[in-house]
Structure 1
Amino acid sequence: MASKIPLAQPPPEEHSRVLLWRWRRNPLRRRADLLQAWIALSLFLAALAATPAATVLAEETAHRHYQQAARHQASTRHATPAVLVDDAPRHPEPGSDEAKHALYPVTVRFTDPCGHTRTAKSDVRPGLPADSAVRVWVSDEGKITDPPLTPQQIHSRTMGCALLAAMTVPLAGGALYGYASRVLERRNLAAG
């Protein structure tokens, strides 16, 4: 008894041929397919070229901004001695690593730059008794504020802005490609 002859199978395609199918000449390839391939290539190259430029530009701009902010803060904020009005709460685990970095809000009394005595909440180390002396930063308006930005804070914020710019450019390129693909797909469906 003769066995059935197996049906002819197409040869297995290479992955690179499938990946680059829009570039090959093919009777089924539409002009929109080639246009989409050119859009993908141009957006990829544009993102590749624009990412370093955007990163450097964002880094320089952020660095200038944060240095100017630090100079302004240094000129308008003053370290002032203050006295605790109440006892600071004790940390539940004294001596632990967390206790070394923990701060608790406590009412303090201080003199503002205009010479008026004020009270406000400030973060202090745990376990300090009332009438302990601490240093607080006070603005020109007499409000307790954070200390001016340090060089490490300026650096970390600048690097954060540069990283954000480095991620935004490729994401914008991907979004543009997605939009262009959608427009071409709609055009193809409308053409029938």
Structure 2
Amino acid sequence: MAGTVPAPQPPPGPPPRPLFWPWRANPLRRRTDTARAWLGLGVLLAVLAVAPLAGALVGDAAHRHYQDVARHQQQTRHLADATLLHDAPRHPEPGSDEEKKTRYPVEVRVVTREGRTRTTRAEVAPGLTADSIVTIWVDSDGEATDAPLTGKEVRSRAAGWALLTAIGVALAGAAVHAVTGFVLHRRNLARWAAAWAETAPRWTTPT
């Protein structure tokens, strides 16, 4: 409607800074601004150079470690027939997908390669009755254990360590940049306070 007074608008914010403003001549640019900009660039380049290298080195070391673990497990673990000593609990939802994935710990009896009979606890499917026979992995002492690591698991764990290492390098770089930025900001505040302490008496008049 004509003659309507428009609602007051908030004052415009500061104009966006150009991408390379810390390196451009500017009367408002401080030495700390330039120092922080160079530091940020240096940290970024260092992270980009170090993170892949550190990840590759750690990933290779982890891969060799888990390969040794897998070989040791293959030498010390084997499949054995185990006889249930008690009935396994029944799942509350028979026939469900959850039942197919659920396992319950039950005491079983196994015979080791040396012919010794051992009693151990193994994870078995729900609803199995006593005297049922299941095949489980056992170690050299006849204790139930997990299957040896597969090649896929070895690669997955090594890749995980490589990724964690690369992320750690990036986080360390971000922490260095944040701490130095905080120190430079505190230095700016101290300089501002000193400059104001020198300028303030000129603005005040004796009463």
TM-score, normalised by the number of residues in structure 2: 0.78
Partner of 1:105: 105
Alignment of 1:1-150 (within 5 A): 13=15, 15-17=16-18, 19-150=19-150
CA distance in 2, matches of 1:39, 1:130: 69
RMSD of aligned Cα (Å): 2.1
Question: Number of residues paired by the alignment?
Answer: 181
CA distance in 1, matches of 2:175, 2:137: 45
Deviation for aligned residue 1:36: 0.7
Instruction: Quote the sequence identity (%).
Output: 52
Partner of 1:173: 173
Deviation for aligned residue 1:124: 0.5
Rg bigger for which structure? 2
Deviation for aligned residue 1:71: 0.5
Partner of 2:198: none
Q: Which moved more, 1:100-109 or 1:165-174?
A: 165-174
Partner of 1:156: 156
Deviation for aligned residue 1:67: 0.8
1:75-110 CA-to-partner distances (Å, cap 9, x unmatched) read 122222110001112222222221221111111011
1:133-154 CA-to-partner distances (Å, cap 9, x unmatched) read 1122222233221111112221
Deviation for aligned residue 1:114: 4.3
CA distance in 2, matches of 1:69, 1:169: 27
